Amino acid sequence: MAANGVHTSPPLDLTSGYVAHRGLREELARLTVATREVNPADIRQVRAVEDHLALVLRFLAAHHREEDALVFPRVRARVGHGLPVAGRVFTDLAVDHDSLDVLTRRAGDTQVPLRERSLAIGRLHALVARHTYQEEREMFPLMRRHVSNLEQRRLLRRTLRGWGRDLPAFVALYFHHADAGERARLLRFAPFGAGLMWRLSWKRGYERRRVAAYGTST
């Protein structure tokens, strides 16, 4: 790191961020349709959609906890207060996180039938899409400038330790939405044996839950 806190090389690998965002956008788009079209009389289908929705919402919450607790404060401290454009970015993203929290609670309220939550899930998808594209456009360049790959690896490993029993499904969600090259890069941060477990078990488990919720694993 240079004296001014700016990293020059090698470029920060943000594969995990891009893949997480892509996965959230795709899953929430599919869940918007699945909740709107679910047959309330089909208890197995309702449970499958409810279960997958809960998983995706937990993934979204974990992703935002990582940003709020680990990533954004670190970058903001290094950017300093002399860049009003950067300050606006942090303010915009913080406001979005508050709105996303509200919509996430509505989307996950199991006291409300799935079909009645479809509108909230659609709004959540629209906000997640706008929010993640803004992050990629405005926050990722700041991260590349102020966070090193070593720091990123430490942050991601700390995040993985907090996933608990969701780790197999979260890893499978990442890998499902990654291409072969991205999976290879993601494996650098994954726990030992995660790649093998994904091939042997976690991949099929994630595909089964998508088939149950959406009717297809693709």
User: Does residue 83 register a pLDDT over 80?
Assistant: no
**What is the reported pLDDT for 3?**
47
- Do residues 211 and 217 make contact, with C-beta atoms less than 8 angstroms apart? yes
Whether the per-residue pLDDT at 5 is higher than 80: the answer is no
- Domain locations in the chain as residue ranges: 15-165
Mean pLDDT of 164-184: 96
**CA nearest neighbour of 143 among 66, 74, 52:** 74
Residue 4: per-residue pLDDT: 52
DSSP code for 12: P
In this prediction, residues 152-165 reach a mean pLDDT of 89
pLDDT of residue 93: 85
Measured CA distances, 142 to 137, 148, 179 (Å): 10, 11, 25
pLDDT in tens, 104-150: 999 999 999 999 999 999 999 999 999 999 999 999 999 998 899 89
Q: How far apart are CA 176 and CA 179, in angstroms?
A: 8
Backbone dihedral angles phi then psi of residue 3, each to the nearest 5 degrees: -60, -30
Locate 46 and state its tokens. Answer: 């309702």
> Per residue in 46-81, pLDDT tens?
999 999 999 999 999 999 988 888 888 888 888 865
How is domain 15-165 classified at the CATH fold level? Answer: Four Helix Bundle (Hemerythrin (Met), subunit A) (1.20.120)
- Quick check: 150 and 188 in contact, CB under 8 A? no
So what's the pLDDT on residue 185?
Answer: 93
Query: What integer pLDDT is reported at residue 9 of this predicted model?
Result: 62
* Stronger pLDDT, 196 or 1, i.e. the higher one: 196
Question: Which residue intervals of the chain are DSSP H helices?
Answer: 15-37, 43-66, 72-79, 84-107, 114-134, 140-146, 149-161, 167-176, 180-186, 194-197, 203-214
pLDDT (tens digit, 9 = 90+) per residue, 22-53? 999 999 999 999 999 999 999 999 999 999 99
